[in-house]
Structure 1
Amino acid sequence: MVLHEVDALVRDDIMVYTPDANFNGSDSLTYTIRDTGGLTSTATVRLTVTPVNDAPVAADDTLDGEEDRTATAAVLGNDRDIDGDELTLVAVTTPAHGSAFIRGSTIVYAPAPDFAGTEVITYTVADTDELTATAALRINVAARNDDPVIAQGESAELTTSEDA
């Protein structure tokens, strides 16, 4: 009898036991052997499956930002570790149109001056045993209506109301 669904195969007088993915704990396996004279014997093997640390799984994120303003993304909320290990943000790639850095469990993104568009950066999380996973942060930077600027040496005509 096997308490959990497993593969238990006999090949060349060797029994192979493969537990379900992520199973750990106690199990037992009952088997029967038969000799050439038809006599049988039954025995039970008690097994202990020790846990191993699994890597975390990081999921992609989206952040909406605005031209010329920094934006912060808390990216760990949708990342998981099946073992329940605490996750830490450990790396972020350099964006093509600005800068990014890690502050605690968040990514802070500052777009380049006057940049509007989409930026995609990659971040890495690690569990307590330093196994890692990588995901993407898609940043949508909206354009802003910039204040008008008069360059030095240029002139401009300005008209205003008396009570303005």
Structure 2
Amino acid sequence: MKRLLAAALLMAAPVLAENDHGAPVHVFEIGGLEILHPWTNATDHDHALVFMELHNEGDAPIEIIGARLDSGLEGQLVGFRMKDGEMGFDPLPPIPVAPGTHLDLTPDGLAIRFDGFTEALEEGHHWEVVLVTSVGVLEIDVSVEDEDARTHGHAGHAH
């Protein structure tokens, strides 16, 4: 029983790796789901979008349901849309990631949206977010990039 508990805790823990250049890379894993490069833009608005790469290394589909903060603020999975020349995001149901495939949450695509912030997100800081999936919940460390960033600062680096 102790080994099972230890294995479960290890599967839900963040893994801090180094790439070929010795720079730290944030990789998080739970139940066969690998989360790479979670990030958001710096903002002083009351909302923010979280982006990341998701890889299902398991043998069953894993649903991405949403996210939350320790403060209780809920993050909703959303999809980008253009309607009548206006950009916006529409709420989405949980999205499955098939075994052996990946799903990218990116600007102008899919994201997790948080509404209701009372403080700014400042570039260079990190933000703790709890990702909610069908295989459990996982605390991830989200990097706050420049307000105009279109990718994570480590994007394209080897893992």
Structure holding more strand per residue = 2
* TM-score of the two chains, using structure 1 as the length reference: 0.37
- If asked which structure has higher relative contact order (CA below 8 Å, sep 6+), I would say 2
* TM-score of the two chains, using structure 2 as the length reference: 0.38
